Amino acid sequence: MRTIYIPGQGRVDLDVVAADRAAREYDERLSFRRNEETGDYCIFIKMPHGQPDYPVLGFGQKVPDRDEIWKRLYETDGVRFGEEIMERTLRFMKAEKAAKEKYMRECAEQVAEVDESAMHRQGNMVKYHRSLSKGKQSKRTGGKD
């Protein structure tokens, strides 16, 4: 922790001053300081009409460097990059949905294979309709049902 004495302000942490400068460079409405309620370092945004500044991004007990501040601000800036954030979120959700659907299909195929195998063993194939293609081999038994 690097500190300097400034008359009227007392000891000032130079890392906090640099972090505050980085936040203000990103947007003049932002400031960086310790949140008195939580003790964590936060970026605050100035609120209109004399309301108290509002913490919008927390960094815990560590004072981040300029690059980390800008990276976190960029990743969470819904005003400037809201559309990009939304597209990234939708792409992620679409990939997750596709992975879940693939998993569900694989589970359904395994259940169908087990059912078919049980029907063959019991000799109860009178009203049974095959739900898998005939060329598909069972992963569990290697096609030896």
pLDDT digits (tens, 9 = 90+) for 29-69: 999 999 999 999 999 999 888 889 999 899 999 899 989 99
For the stretch 97-128, pLDDT in tens is 999 999 999 999 999 888 888 877 777 665 55
Residue-wise burial string across 78-94, b where 16 or more C-beta atoms lie within 10 A, e elsewhere:
eeeeeeeeeeeeeeeee
95 φ/ψ angles, rounded to the nearest 5 degrees: -65, -40
pLDDT score for 35:
92
User: Measured between alpha carbons, how far is 31 from 45 in angstroms, rounded to an integer?
Assistant: 7
pLDDT score for 90:
87
Residue 22 confidence class, pLDDT cut points 50, 70, 90: very high
What pTM was estimated for this model as a whole?
0.53
DSSP-assigned letter for residue 48 = S
